[in-house]
A = this chain, B = another copy of it.
Amino acid sequence: MSKKFNENYQYKPKQPLSAKELANGVINNNPVILSRAITLIESQKEEDRALIYEALKHIPPSSHKALRIGITGSPGVGKSTFIEAFGKHLGELGKKVAVLAIDPSSNITGGSILGDKTRMEELSNLPNVYIRPTPSKGELGGVAEQSFETILLCEKAGYEIILVETVGVGQSETHVKELVDCFLLLMLAGAGDELQGIKRGIMELADAILITKVEQENEKHAKIAKSNYQNALHLFPPNSNQWVPKVLTCSSLENKGIKEAWRTIEDFERHNAANKWLDENRKKQNLFWFKEKLNQLIKTSFYNKKEVKESIEKLQNEVEKGNIDPFNAALKLFSHR
């Protein structure tokens, strides 16, 4: 970088770290270095990501595996409050917890920004709890494209439980299933409007449905909803691991049902450790992300070509208007390779 005088120059305390320093920082669970590693992962600069991939090579394979839990639900369902209560409970049990929360400031679907920030700060003050707001950009609707790398880094840093928050929208939301071991869907008791925005197909992916905001005054209502969901789940095709999804209720405000949610997840873990599904699924997920990353690399190198960038929009318009069929349009663009 040029060292020319720059009017906008600001104090820049961060010294660049080497791949080895990054690796050691992560292994020794230095939260500052872990955060910098994740920032490198999320960087748009190729050299930043190259550095972190180099660092990963310096982290030896270990037998330690964190339990990865996906937490999904539409805005307003109470994801942040649940994560706070749930994270606190896990913290009190002495668990090392990492939370990959959606950055409320970048969350286009809304949410109580100030409230979220305060709650997250409170949780992050707990010992053994690490919170990382992830930008909700990219294809994965709330999950940054680099979530799998981030999860891996948190696991390498020794966290035992990793909570991954997503919003349940977006084309590739089903990819979230490939990120985590256990998938929790948060719902409100009055099914209907609050489901607007949640992608169809998400419900069938859930390992547990958690009905939120069940305070004393609507317990009766929630009981009916619970029974409805339970009946519906029985009509779904069985999971390959033979786990039967559970329906639970909770009130994060009144701190009810939080322990039960954790106990259900413990059951899930026991069930799927016993039948070896957890290990098998991890292998499959690693292969999935190997191919996914490879395809991302292949596609990026194609779509970044000058000629492709210049003609893709025009061709898309022609396809939309029906002036060219999708295959000849694809062949035409591909000729720029």
Interface residues of A, Cβ cutoff 8 Å to B: 53, 56-57, 61, 148-149, 152, 174, 191, 195-205, 228-229, 231-232, 234-239, 283, 286-287, 289-291, 293-295, 297-299, 301-302, 315-316, 319-320, 322-323, 325-331, 333-334, 337
Q: CB-CB < 8 A to A286: which residues of B? A: 319-320, 322, 325-326
**Complex: A286 Cα to B328 Cα, angstroms:** 12
Q: CB-CB < 8 A to A152: which residues of B? A: 325
Binding site of A, secondary structure by majority: helix, strand, loop or mixed? helix
**Complex: A232 Cα to B327 Cα, angstroms:** 39
Closest Cβ of chain B to A144, distance in Å, is: 14
**Complex: A298 Cα to B331 Cα, angstroms:** 10
Q: CB-CB < 8 A to A291: which residues of B? A: 330
Task: Determine whether the beta carbon of B299 is less than 8 Å from that of A287.
Answer: no
Given known contacts A231-B232, A295-B299, what 9 new A-B pairs fall within 8 Å (CB)?
A57-B328, A174-B174, A197-B237, A200-B239, A201-B202, A203-B237, A231-B231, A298-B299, A298-B302
A-B contact pairs, 22 of them (CB 8 A): A53-B328, A56-B325, A148-B326, A152-B325, A174-B174, A191-B234, A195-B238, A196-B237, A200-B204, A200-B236, A201-B202, A202-B237, A203-B235, A232-B235, A287-B319, A290-B316, A290-B330, A294-B330, A298-B298, A298-B302, A298-B334, A298-B337
Q: CB-CB < 8 A to A327: which residues of B? A: 53, 56, 149, 289, 293
Q: CB-CB < 8 A to A196: which residues of B? A: 237-238
Q: Which of B290, B316, B319, B333 contacts A329 (CB 8 A)?
A: B290
**Complex: A293 Cα to B196 Cα, angstroms:** 31
Task: Determine whether the beta carbon of A56 is less than 8 Å from that of B328.
Answer: yes
Task: Determine whether the beta carbon of A289 is less than 8 Å from that of B200.
Answer: no
**Complex: A44 Cα to B301 Cα, angstroms:** 26
Chain A to chain B: the 8 pairs with minimum beta-carbon distance, closest first: A201-B201, A232-B232, A293-B330, A290-B326, A195-B237, A294-B330, A200-B204, A289-B326
**Complex: A235 Cα to B302 Cα, angstroms:** 42
**Complex: A228 Cα to B238 Cα, angstroms:** 17
Closest Cβ of chain B to A107, distance in Å, is: 19
**Complex: A249 Cα to B298 Cα, angstroms:** 47
**Complex: A204 Cα to B236 Cα, angstroms:** 9
Residue on B nearest A296 in the bound complex, by CB: B330
**Complex: A235 Cα to B225 Cα, angstroms:** 9
**Complex: A316 Cα to B61 Cα, angstroms:** 16
Given A231-B228, A325-B152, residue A200 in contact with residue B191 (CB < 8 A):
no
Closest Cβ of chain B to A9, distance in Å, is: 34
Q: CB-CB < 8 A to A174: which residues of B? A: 174, 201
Task: Determine whether the beta carbon of B287 is less than 8 Å from that of A320.
Answer: yes
